Structure 1
Amino acid sequence: MDTSSKIGWQNLDVWSETYIAARWIVEDKLPEKQYQAEVVDGPLSQMVLVSSHQLVEIMLFKCIKQNLKDTGKWNDVMETVLLKLNFNEAFNKWPKLILGKAFPKKVQPFTAALILAQRRNATVHSESALTTLEMAKAALYTGLMASRAIEEHFSGMPFSYEEVISKYPISDSELLSNSMYPNLT
């Protein structure tokens, strides 16, 4: 009989902590069906949507910064530029500027990542858009898939958070789409 025990420690960072928290809301707090929802579940769903976009943003800027460091182009000026850079400009222009190849924005999950950014803006800004349970689940799935695709696009290597995803899996879902809320253009 093996009486040994293993104690493991998983190094977490801002991406993995954000993912784990959003995952906890989706998997452990939100009900399965919309008719089971309570008043608090709408705002929790909004928090998941915003956090899911944050996953994409964290990964994008992390990859841009790492690439600039790896190529010797990182300096105080670039740090200032990145601090002022908005998500859409970074997403739409910087992969091409840095790598010579843009994101394939008409291909999933890149298309869904842009929809997630639109919905995040609608939720946070003027519209204070409502978020359903289905949208929260799709947002988290989109955040994960887009983060994976962004890192693989920049590095050409497997996703560095597979161990975290394996330990904290999410249920399969669909990617966000405009059909989930047709009033967004």
Structure 2
Amino acid sequence: MLFKKNNKALNLKELIEGCRKGSSSSQKLLFDTYSSKAMRICSKYASSDMETEEIVMDGFLKVFKNIEKYNDQYEFGGWFHRVMVNSAIDYFRKNHSKIEFADIENIENIDFNPNQLDLLSVEEILEFVRKLSPVYRAVFSLSVIEGYENTEIAALLGLTESGVRGNLSKAKSRLQGWINEYINRQELK
């Protein structure tokens, strides 16, 4: 991948090497290049733009601090994505670890109609996800967006598997309710 710097082509490998050497210009160029990707990743875990920016900044600090650990044999984008998701998880643990979790026994069976999602834009869906409580949002994003298994989510967030299933079910239930209300209001217009 090539980047423009003062009308010179700079490849990703050189950019990463510059970051490893502590070059502030390389760090700035990496930030400028990957900040929108970081925002897209982290916004799925945050309740506001300000929270998203905080997670992104923490993530970039981790990228620059740990760039020595990046193995050039693998795609940088995948490593970067993993660092940002881990930053979101760390943020959740630090700021939302005292929240109570739903038990699976208290959950109603919810029929989620995925066809309704076709009626909404990605931005509208993400706004609904952002309205979820931090626990529901984290569990939903890790499961549905990132594809983690319940056992992995439980380990990452310090929950039981039944707690993960319960929170995921509640998140889906809330989203379905909000989506139904939204679509019904749109149909009435």
Q: TM-score, normalised by structure 1?
A: 0.29
- Larger C-alpha radius of gyration, 1 or 2? 2
More helix by share: 2
Structure with the bigger RCO (C-alpha within 8 Å, sep 6+) is 1
More strand by share: 2
